[in-house]
Amino acid sequence: MPTVSFASDIRPLFRPEDLETMKPHGLDLSSYQGVRQNAEAILSRLEAGGMPCDGSWADDWIEKFRRWMDAGMPA
C-alpha cells in the first residue's frame, strides 16, 4: 500500500469551510503541525461522526487518515 502524506493525501480532505470553522477554535487544519499535534482528537471526532459538523467523512477517508497516522504522519 502506498505511503500516505499530509500534503498530497490528508490536507486535500479538509474543505475550505472546514478550515474556517476550526480556525477560531485554535485548530489550523491547513497546517501540518496543527493536524499532527491534534491527530488523535481529529481521528476520534471523525470516527464518531462529529467532524465535520455538517456530515461524516466517508469510511475510506477515515481509513486514509488512520493509515497516515500509522505511517508516522509523514509531511
Sign of CA dihedral 30, 31, 37, 39: positive
Domain boundaries along the sequence of the chain: 6-70
10 in Cβ contact with 69 (< 8 Å) = no
The residue behind cell 469551510 is 17
Asked whether residue 1 carries a pLDDT value surpassing 80, the answer given is no
Vertex 63: Cα angle to 14 and 49 (nearest 5) = 65
- Higher-scoring residue by pLDDT: 37, 55: 37
Cell numbers for 37, please give them: 499535534
The residue behind cell 480532505 is 13
Asked whether residue 3 carries a pLDDT value surpassing 90, the answer given is no
Is 73 in a helix, a strand, or coil? coil
pTM beyond cutoff 0.85 = yes
Asked whether residue 2 carries a pLDDT value surpassing 90, the answer given is no
Mean pLDDT of all residues in 17-46? 96
